[in-house]
Amino acid sequence: MHYLIISFTHKNTDISTREKLAFGSELEKESFLKKSVDCMYINEAVVLSTCNRVEVIVSTKDATRAKDTILKNFSSKSGLKFDELMSIADAYEDENAIFHLFSVASSIDSLVVGETQIAGQLKDAYKFAQSKGYCSLKLSRAINYSFKCAGVVRNETTLGTGSVSVSSTAVAKAKQIFTNPSEIEAVVVGAGEMSELCVKHLLKSGFKVILISRDIKKSTILASNIGGDIEVQPYSELETLLNTKQLLFTATSAPYPIIKKEMVYHCDEPRYWFDIAIPRDIEQIDIVGVSIFSVDDLKGIVDENMAFRAQKAKKAYKIVQEMTKTYFQWLNTLGVEPIIKGLFTKGDIIIDDKINDAIKKGYIESSQKENIDKLCHSILAKYLFETSKNLRILATKEESDTIFESVQNIFNIKIDEDTQDTNYKCNNS
């Protein structure tokens, strides 16, 4: 079994490419997962789709074939050519895959290092794949351990302290533009998690907020829960607000642009719009006085964030590196127990067969069976004690996989991992 991650992020793809690769609905995500797992060499799969990354995490029997299959599925879904996707995709295998997964969960691979959303997004992606039957033992182990790693990074580096997210970065950029935020009404379109974070950061920075979404009940509840200077407007007022307010943030889950060029008029005052949705909510608009910032346009502030958090990130990478090593050691210790159990089971079978055969041939009385059975099993336990101890020690060594495979072949021990306990719960990170 191999781990494989196919990754498209802000590091290797532009926003227009990520829009085509992103998953707009759970139905689309489920269809992609089914198509991937249906091939014979992919065992499990999880899809992670956020504003900065689209990644597929799989356990596979053949990493090369799995990569080709996933990229073909992406090509079919997005309309992008297979060769183009092959040239830009980052592919991580085995230890590199686990290191990358732990880095993502710990938010040190994010556009905004230390952002607080990614662990929750990974958790949601995992729960979804698990609930649909596409994620079981192998990926559950890795993903749950990634949450453990994220917790260690958070506690030992304080990387996640403070308000760090794409939303907070966008608001920080707005504060650079508007030096008197108390005089500015900021329009926020959407009532999801990104919008909620955006509203909180705006209020904290002193802006007044106008909240608008297609579901006015949802936006009203959100405004009530947050409190502060928030005015809720019906969605029918969107076009008016676009042309009367200087500052706008949009973060809906719409699969297509909701703000189109025909909705925008010329105004005397400059306008600054932050589109932090993937796919983007604002289509290409070229009107004088309208500045549109997408997720990728926030790089300036992100670079400042990186410089500020460089030392903490350096320590975080060391933790992730150590946790990756520890994970595989732990995985090997899990792998050795079925082998030890297999050795004992084979011994038990031989003992039972030989005792029964001896009784049939009259070598021993049937009344002696229980005592002889106890004696034989105590001898077996004594004989395998050192072997079991040494195998457990070997489980912490790098060469353990080769040794365990040899032991299985020598003693003809068959292990079916899929029969082991798969009742995993999503741990808090």
Tell me which residues are annotated as active site: 51
Helix (H, G, I), strand (E, B) or coil at 289: coil
| Encoded amino acid at 15, one letter | I
CB 37 within 8 A of CB 44: yes
Q: Are 101 and 91 in contact (CB under 8 A)?
A: no
- Distance, CA of 423 to CA of 337 (rounded, Å): 18
Residue 83 CA from chain centroid, whole number: 25
- Please report where in the chains the tokens 């900021």 appear, as a residue: 186
Dihedral (Cα; 30, 36, 39, 42), 10-degree rounding: -110
- Residue 320 makes CB contacts below 8 A (sequence gap 6+) with 99, 102, 103, 106, 108, 149, 153
Question: Distance (Å, rounded) from C-alpha 229 to C-alpha 225?
Answer: 12
Residue type, 91: A
Backbone angles phi, psi at 42, to 5 degrees: -110, 120
